[in-house]
Amino acid sequence: MRSSKSLTPLFFLLPALALMVPFVIYPVLKTVYLSFFLDGKFVGLENYKNVLLSPDIVNLERFPTKSPPWGALIHNVVLIAIHLPATVFLGLGIALLLRRKEVKGSSVVKSIIFLGMVIPMIVGGLIIRFLFEEGAGVIPAIFRLLGIERLAITWTAYPETALFAVILGSIWIWTGFSMLMYSAGLASIPKDYYEAALIDGANRFQIFKNVTWPLLRPITVVVVAMTLLWDLKIFDVVYVATGGGPGGASMVLALQMWDYFARALNYNYAAVVAVLLATLTLIPALWLIRRRE
């Protein structure tokens, strides 16, 4: 490590600062600033109050007793509550399964599941619409076959099902990430750990609980944090799969921000939603940083 009183490090940093200061740092600060103003006047936390109390964001009249819309913030929370555990455990389960040496072509299966991570999210969202469309889509056809007519519909067109189409589709898209991370993590566990546990007479469940799972902990931290970030930032998938509808029944925070910004032309409310979203993303981000130190 060269400690330099010279200006050398500054020269290396200068181009990055020249791009980041005007095009990242200034806009971030300006967004925070905008969130406290309305029509050019400082209004303190007034915007925050109005946005948070708006049924667009939290709709306690409908949640949890009635069908969505429940408000964008609650939709993100519901997405997290289902999508996070589902992808973490599916990814881990699939990684464990594909690691068994008797499975033939495990790398092919791995690549297939990872495809969801490679395609643009806008395509992912379009595929969700296609999957859940009555007639052309597989999912309603399966429910028809099972005799469950209530779900043999175009999921993205009904408030009861639109959010869940997005959530199920998101599991399909995002499981590849968790699987990939756990596969890499499992491959890095030395074989003698297992051999030692076997000699001690541990059964498979005990080995998993006492050896594999604790050793995968750093991976789990990353997977959980990244999945939380993905769930909070989700935009493209919802934009194209449901447009946040019908009637806001699958609206999420990132899309609500766009709605205030581009449709309502209310830049201050858009800034408030952006700041809320950023604050929420800091929770997993800070947790991730602290866990690794």
Chain residues 149-208 in contact with another protein, contact rule CB under 8 A: 172, 175, 177, 180-181, 184
Nearer to another protein, 26 or 213 (CB): 26
The conformation of residue 265, written as its DSSP 8-state character, comes to: -
Contact between 275 and another protein per CB under 8 A: yes
* DSSP H helical ranges for 132-265: 138-145, 162-187, 191-199, 204-207, 213-215, 217-233, 236-241, 253-258
Asked if residue 64 lies in contact with residue 78, where contact means CB atoms within 8 angstroms, the answer is: no
Contact between 22 and another protein per CB under 8 A: yes
Please give the Cα distance from 82 to 171 (Å, whole number). 9
Binding characters for another protein, 117-156, by CB under 8 A (x = yes): xxxxxxx--xx-xxx-x-xxxx--x---------------
Nearer to another protein, 53 or 142 (CB): 142
**Minimum distance from residue 78 beta carbon to another protein (Å):** 19
Using CB under 8 A as the binding criterion, the count of chain residues that bind another protein stands at 94
Contact between 42 and another protein per CB under 8 A: no
Asked if residue 233 lies in contact with residue 254, where contact means CB atoms within 8 angstroms, the answer is: yes
Nearer to another protein, 36 or 63 (CB): 36
Asked if residue 41 lies in contact with residue 34, where contact means CB atoms within 8 angstroms, the answer is: no
**Minimum distance from residue 225 beta carbon to another protein (Å):** 9
Per DSSP bridges, beta strands 41-42 and 37-38 are antiparallel
Contact between 261 and another protein per CB under 8 A: yes
Question: In 3-state terms, what secondary structure has residue 41?
Answer: strand
* Residues 203/209/215/217 CA torsion (nearest 10 deg): 160
Please give the Cα distance from 35 to 293 (Å, whole number). 33
Nearer to another protein, 2 or 150 (CB): 2
Nearer to another protein, 214 or 218 (CB): 218
The conformation of residue 120, written as its DSSP 8-state character, comes to: -
- Both tokens assigned to 262: 């581009």
Nearer to another protein, 53 or 286 (CB): 286
**Minimum distance from residue 6 beta carbon to another protein (Å):** 9
Contact between 240 and another protein per CB under 8 A: yes
Q: Name which position in 112, 146, 189, 198 contacts another protein (CB under 8 A).
A: 112
